[in-house]
Amino acid sequence: MSGGARRLLDNIKAKETQGYVAPDRLSMALVGAEQMAQAVVALDAAVRARGAGVARLAVDPRWDALRDISEVQTMAKSIAAGAIR
């Protein structure tokens, strides 16, 4: 993991202790920190919260690193089907 990714993740986790951090932002920081399992958990929280940051999960290149994970594919299909908006 790069130093920049670690600093970003540490910064987001610090903000999380002070208030709300959108789960899609946390998920992206975790992807950058190469913590994919935790990134999927945060992404699931973002999908369940109907966060705007995941509306284009199936096509947004920011989610490319997670797209091959079956849970993420299921989330993307549910969004595309309108089950989660």
- CB-based contact 63:57 (threshold 8 Å): yes
Taking only the tens of pLDDT, the chain with its 85 residues reads 677 778 888 888 888 888 888 999 999 999 988 999 999 999 999 999 988 889 999 999 999 999 999 999 999 999 988 866 4
Q: Is residue 39 part of a domain?
A: yes
What pLDDT score was predicted for residue 1? Answer: 62
Q: Which residue has the tokens 């995941």?
A: 54
What pLDDT score was predicted for residue 27? Answer: 93
Q: Is the dihedral of CA 9, 12, 16, 17 positive or negative?
A: positive
Residues 6+ apart with CB under 8 A from 39: 27, 28, 30, 31, 65, 66
Q: Is residue 60 part of a domain?
A: yes
Q: Total structural domains in the chain?
A: 1
Q: Is residue 67 part of a domain?
A: yes
Segments forming the whole domain that contains residue 52: 3-80
Cα–Cα distance list, 22 to 4, 26, 64, 81 (Å): 20, 7, 19, 23
What pLDDT score was predicted for residue 85? Answer: 47
**Dmax over Cα atoms in the chain, in whole Å?**
38
Q: Is residue 85 part of a domain?
A: no
